Amino acid sequence: MPHFVSAAGAGRRRVNERRAPSLREATNFVAQRYARLAPMSAPDIAMLQDLPGPVEEAPKNREIHVEGRPPASPRFLVSGWACRFRLLGDGRRMILGFVVPGDGIRVCGTPHPLALSSVSTISDCVMVHAGAAFGPHQDFDAHLSLDGALRVARALDECWLISAITRLGRQTALERLAHLLLELHWRLDQVGLGDGWRFSAPLTQDILADAVGLSTVHVNRTAQQLRREGLVEWRHQTITILEPALLGQIAEFRPPQIADWRPQRLSNPK
């Protein structure tokens, strides 16, 4: 049974606390996260713990991928936040989704020759390179449980994309913001960040606006409404969901059902 070392913290940390995690700390975190998604065999956990690395630090606002260019190598985010986005010609930006610690960046995804979206850090980040085995053409025949966990991760990605579409297309400003907050809480909770219904996130209202398809000003006013109605507390970069049930009702948030996503090789049992 592997022993995990915590290496992730999305919150603020004093400058003098800053220290790059060791490769082992980073890979332990990644392994722990995927082991939670689906039960994984010891050898498969070891495969994640033995990611080749190296560990890479990137400052805030560094572009990891650029839309339309050949994608960089696959990696896992260990700490900090990033986002996937697209730009329109006149500068409009749409944030397609956030990348939080534990998430892969172009790990075992769909194989596009050119990146479909850009990826940029939104806070200082630590990533660990995943090596060619985790590229888009993975083939984990000897690692069924790892393959299963990665499939669950992909399924979650699809779930967030679908949720985003519904949010943008058919929800009001208040609902959108509520929904996004619940999604973020759910995801951070999954990876052991967050503290009950409180979590911290390096999100400016500008960033939120580009994620929920509103103007910054309107995000501001909508956030005020959430606070005024006692649904959330939200100061600095710390958000507390005060009324989870009510907020969930407003947003019609549907937490992903991952309980039964165990990998099952239904076909070609071989």
Distance CA 187, CA 172 (A): 22
Residues 190-249 contacting its own copies, CB under 8 A: 210-213
Binding string, residues 3-22; x marks residues near DNA by CB under 7 A = --------------------
Note whether 104 binds its own copies by CB under 8 A. no
Tell me if 270 contacts its own copies by CB under 8 A.
yes
Name the nearest CA neighbour of 7 among 43, 42, 55: 55
29/140 with CB nearer its own copies: 140
HSE-CB at 33 with a 13 A cutoff on CA atoms is 29
170 sits near its own copies (criterion: CB under 8 A): yes
Q: Is 92 in the site for its own copies (CB under 8 A)?
A: yes
Structure tokens that stand for 118 in this block: 């850009």
Interface of this chain with DNA, residues 180 to 219, rule: CB under 7 A? 204-206, 213-218
How many other C-beta atoms lie within 10 A of the C-beta of residue 110? 9
Instruction: Select the residue interacting with its own copies from 102, 104, 109, 194 (CB under 8 A).
Output: 109
**Does 172 interact with DNA (rule: CB under 7 A)?**
yes
Q: List all residues 6 or more positions away from 231 whose beta carbon is below 8 Å from its beta carbon.
A: 178, 241, 242, 243, 246, 247, 250
Is 113 a binding residue for its own copies by CB under 8 A? The answer is yes
Residues 218, 11, 97, 173, Cα dihedral to 10°: -20
- Binder among 9, 11, 53, 263 for its own copies (CB under 8 A): 263
H or E stretch at 162: helix 144-170
> Six-digit token pair at 10?
């999305």
Compute the least distance from the CB of residue 79 to its own copies, in Å. 26
CB 38 within 8 A of CB 263: yes
What is the signed CA dihedral for 33, 182, 161, 147, rounded to 10 degrees?
Answer: 20
Q: Which residue ranges make up the site for DNA (CB under 7 A)?
A: 172-174, 204-206, 213-218, 220-221, 223-224, 236
Q: Which residue ranges make up the site for its own copies (CB under 8 A)?
A: 86, 88-89, 92-96, 109-114, 116-117, 132-141, 151, 154-155, 157-159, 161-162, 164-166, 168-171, 210-213, 252, 257, 259-261, 263-268, 270
